[in-house]
Structure 1
């Protein structure tokens, strides 16, 4: 392709780099209508934005195809993270190499005195992170009076990370005549306000599709029981077998726990969170680039600015807090025209929230169950057969070894041993507690700790030892796929009890009731309160509250009435545990 509309020195650099055509964002920022104007650009992560703003600012930097000596920087690029700033510096380095550009990087974790020496020697382009740039500015090492172009890369991420004050101080120190280019994956209200303050008559450019946030990303949603989340992660990794995968958690504690689980299961995994030093972060990223590690478990902030060309799978282990976070996480894959997959693991009680989020962002996702252990084994067989039947040229030593094996064993024995050896190199899949609701007939066969409501007109037998019991309520029911197979482990974990200390489980359309022996009801309630957040729920949105008065359903007729003529339900007796609200549960009392 001809790049006649570009400076010859840049066109030559693109050709040497193997460019046949510009990406959509690169084409739009180099059109005549964009020349000399401020730009407000939204484009998906990995769409070639770095080269785009490198081409867009050429008119302010090049004179006769060269950059003349500059005592002070002519262009400033601000990026949210050290990794992204270094990546931008490398990209601009080859793009402006033949133009004689001097580029300096100013990022945290590097030698600040060396950076100041580089700035004092005269540079054309400065690339840095907000905190380090502000530090150099306040110390007088960074002179922005001659600046012609200011670029904010991943502006929405910088605001999310709390850099607004740093950005404002830096931009306030630049000339009013400068050109401001603002690049962001999304344009939320804070970005629009920043653009209004620091840009003049900006040209709005958007290459993000209207129908989906990322056109090169296939979105999948798998619904699981809350106790199956980590098992679903393992099965997804085994099913897809990606070159590189990134797993997103909400907190550093969850990153630490999931990373330890994966390593113990045999995955080559690294972790990135706020508790890791810059040196540890560098080692982790290098392991991913060298393919010594294939899985990265990270928090949202720790993954900002990471560019891994081999990343093909993103798993949202914990649901993103909003649509912008969803797109930023997913944007780590499907970059620069490559295809990627983003999978959201959704506990049953959170399905409505995720469905609303996807509709709001116009993302079409395929909903289904998490892959089972049988699904993973079937996929392993297909991959192994495909690998073994692929045509290859055998070495003489390999053929000689094969003949020796055939002389000792039958072909079936050798093939079976080969399959076993291959399987031993891979982490085994997980048997999940629940892979969707059981068939209706199966649900009606049992009720006591194993099914749904019993057939019409029947009641389950009362368990021995539960005559003195207290009823509690869960804010989930059949509509949220509630099933004793995963409710029982959840109650044991939240209430610090064993499965033998939980009585009947009665599942309704939108709520579930269960009873606990009166002797341990207070201890159970206290444990549930400690394991809940400020809203009275756990991480999957399940709230446990006492059923008012201990009553669950209309009382049985075989119970004698108490004083006042109102019989007790479920074997409850007056006195003892008093059902009182705890935490900040939102649940309504059963009707």
Structure 2
């Protein structure tokens, strides 16, 4: 768990108390009442302690010492806001953005209260059960309870599947105070009579929205609301970074009517981490592995990187591609638990810096120095995006999350933006100049660490390398699709431009051969409506730009009211509207709408908008794109005038 630096905290938040029988908003300050001012020997008042200083809270001396041993002098806002309410015995729902210290928000008050109770001796039943959705998160929470509980004599055990049950049973029979685990293994121990919940005083759901979804809710209810649980005398705590409306409806099954809500996100539109840059990169699936490799080198060179995939097969495929060049390792549910633990420990310890994972690593895991998160495709739920992106930018550090999109899933980007309350910055694939700049920066940092007294010994060898080594040729990539050996050109127009035929017509008017024109692809229109961006093979760049009188962005200086130049960064493009649940609907980028299945116009889904199947017509198709073999403007299988790739990426 990362924590706030030793500094004066941000101003205290305002929290909304939950509604019970009456509708009432109560403002509660997270800042405790100041202690009596201390005075020095000179009679001058000493500086007041920061409002979130651990000395401002009713924590026992051993617990404060344990916090200080970890370098913690102040509490995060969520920890400060929850502490007194939990010590007072309130049921509570807590929400804060990812990386803001939610785990200690319940660990600290629980171990503090347990230390003052008569918990019994050998063979005692646990007073606390904490449920987590993944084994990795359960282990992490268990480690925090172990760290801070041992200072107060609180015994803990973590139980989860994939690990031998014998040691877990032995610990439970000897007696523990806190059980942390996944629902399946906790339920298994209960059914075998090893784990009793009769004396339960606390029940905690970490990542409660995940715990209460359709996959877990029945087990959770059986564990926490079973006949053996004295629900009237148990305190219930629910924590998460995301609380969809359906979670609020379900909480009534577990919480007392007067429960408190501590919500540090509230009505803010921005639900994702505010310390993370959210970037979006168009990339065809066939280029994904190479582009991800370049992104890690450009954006994650100095820290750790987590790459998220939707499937285990994708995680394995990417790991195989990246393992040799970057030492990447995989983490997902089909990997044996013992190997998962070794992999995660190695990543934490810096033995390798690239982890490829499914969502087993998205929830709650706190790993220091994760500089970059890459999502190989946008997730289908905004909540998943929030949790994945929250693996970086933790404890107020800065981080970067890059999401790759293709034409088949780019419709999710505006949905995520709306629900997560953030805006993506569109970027293109790293170019040779970007890679060179990163290499130069890293070389300079390495040289700076060399003792000046030995630099002279390396100069002859360095001069020889500079004189004899040619600059390695780096492959350029499209900014629109990330295709290798393609360059994105921007056409600025003096008149409105919204049809690909306008672009191809101007290219031909400028004297470019038909065979070369047909190699231009992925026409996308500028957001200002006065131009377009498209890709051409690297070898044709000079030919295209020369036909328009050289590189410039002023249509008045070009030909036929248009100018052409190479894009150095991805221009602002007209975004396609989100696709509906049925047919995507036609638009000028291609896609559906021309007809159902393979009908509508000549060929496969022909006509202007194309069909859902093989696309076609002016706009290009969503499906297989296609060049000459699938038709062309008269209804073939995608693409404008038989463009390669069919205008799809």
Instruction: Calculate the TM-score normalised by the size of structure 1.
Output: 0.72
2:188 aligns to what?
135
Deviates more, 1:229-238 or 1:166-175: 229-238
Matched, 1:383 2:434: no
1:26 aligns with 2:79: yes
**Contact 1:108-1:132 within 8 A present in 2 as well:** yes
Distance 1:134 1:78 in 2: 11
Q: Could you tell me how far 1:239 is from its partner in structure 2? A: 0.7
Q: Does 1:35 align with 2:80?
A: no
Q: Is contact 1:152-1:183 (8 Å) kept? A: yes
User: In the alignment, which of 53, 62, 69 is matched to residue 121 of structure 2?
Assistant: 69
1:309-328 mapped onto 2 (5 Å cutoff): 309-328=368-387
Paired position in structure 2 for 1:431 = 476
- Name the counterpart of 2:157: 104
- Contact map agreement 2:115 2:153 (CA 8 A) in 1: no
**Please, which of 622, 627, 631 is the counterpart of residue 542 of structure 1?**
622
Residue 143 of structure 2 aligns to a residue whose secondary structure is: helix
> Which has the larger displacement, 139-148 or 51-60?
51-60
Give the corresponding residue for 1:12. 65
Provide, for residues 331-367 of structure 1, a one-character-per-residue CA deviation record: whole Å limited to 9, x for no partner.
Answer: 1112223221111122356545303321331113322
User: Highest relative contact order (Cα 8 Å, sep 6+), 1 or 2?
Assistant: 1
Point out the structure with the larger helix share: 1
> Is 1:203–2:260 an aligned residue pair?
yes
When residues 305 and 430 of structure 1 are mapped into structure 2, their CA distance, relative to the original with a 3 A threshold, is farther
Q: Distance in 2 between matches of 1:13 and 1:45?
A: 24
| Equivalent residue in structure 2 for 1:253, among 296, 313, 328 | 313
Distance 1:253 1:59, change over 3 A: closer
Following superposition, the deviation at residue 54 of structure 1 comes to 1.4
Q: Distance in 2 between matches of 1:257 and 1:455?
A: 42
Question: After the TM superposition, which residues 140-289 of structure 1 pair with which residues of structure 2 at under 5 Å, given as runs?
Answer: 140-159=193-212, 162-173=215-226, 174-176=229-231, 177-200=233-256, 201-208=258-265, 210-212=268-270, 213-240=272-299, 241-264=301-324, 266-289=325-348
Native 8 Å contact 1:226 1:348 kept in 2 = no
Partner of residue 485, structure 2: none
Counterpart CA distance in 2 for 1:321 and 1:432 is: 28
Q: Name the CA distance, whole Å, in 1 between partners of 2:475 and 2:150.
A: 52
- Given that 1:219 and 1:364 are in contact with CA atoms closer than 8 Å, whether structure 2 keeps it comes out as yes
- CA-CA distance at 1:170 after TM superposition: 0.2
Q: Which residue matches 2:451?
A: 393
Q: Unaligned regions of 5+ residues in structure 2, if any?
A: 1-52, 482-487, 494-499, 538-585, 593-602, 605-611, 616-620, 639-645
Aligned residue runs from structure 1 range 456-495, under 5 A: 478=525, 483=534, 485=536
Distance (whole Å) between structure 1 residues aligned to residue 71 and residue 341 of structure 2: 29
Alpha-carbon distance, 1:325 to partner: 0.7
Q: Deviations over 1:232-276 (max 9, x none)?
A: 212211112142101111122222222222124x11100122332
Q: Deviations over 1:519-553 (max 9, x none)?
A: xxxxx98xxxxxxxx9889xxx933589xxx9976
- Matched residues in 2 for 1:234 and 1:104: separation? 40
Aligned partner (choices 589, 595, 607) of residue 510 of structure 1: 589
Alpha-carbon distance change, 326 to 512 in structure 1, aligned in 2, over 3 angstroms: closer
Secondary structure of 1:89's counterpart equals: helix
The alpha carbon displacement at 1:169 in A equals: 0.7
The C-alpha deviation readout for 1:415-456, integer Å capped at 9, x for no partner, is 668x99xx99xxx975324458412279xxxxxx99942239
Cα distance between partner residues in 1 of 2:178 and 2:338 = 26
- Aligned 8 A contact 2:137 2:365 in 1: yes
Distance 1:276 1:456, change over 3 A: closer
- Give, in whole Å, the separation in 1 of the partners of 2:186 and 2:203: 13
CA distance in 2 between counterparts of 1:228 and 1:234 reads: 10
- For the 8 Å contact 1:234–1:430, the answer to whether it is kept is no
Q: Secondary structure of 2:334's match?
A: coil
Aligned match of 1:440:
491
| Alpha-carbon distance in 1 for matches of 2:525, 2:252 | 49
Q: TM-score, normalised by structure 2?
A: 0.66
Aligned with 1:205: secondary structure?
Answer: strand
**CA–CA distance in structure 2, aligned partners of residues 195 and 86 of structure 1:** 25
- The equivalent of 1:560 in structure 2 is none
Note closer, same or farther for the CA distance 1:81–1:140 as it changes in structure 2 (3 Å cut). Answer: same
Partners in 1 of 2:508 and 2:328 — Cα distance? 54
Preserved CA contact (<8 Å) 1:475 1:543: no
Aligned length: 487
2:505 aligns to what SS in structure 1? coil
Change over 3 Å in CA distance of 1:109–1:512 after alignment to 2: closer
Partners of 1:343 and 1:303 in 2: CA distance: 15
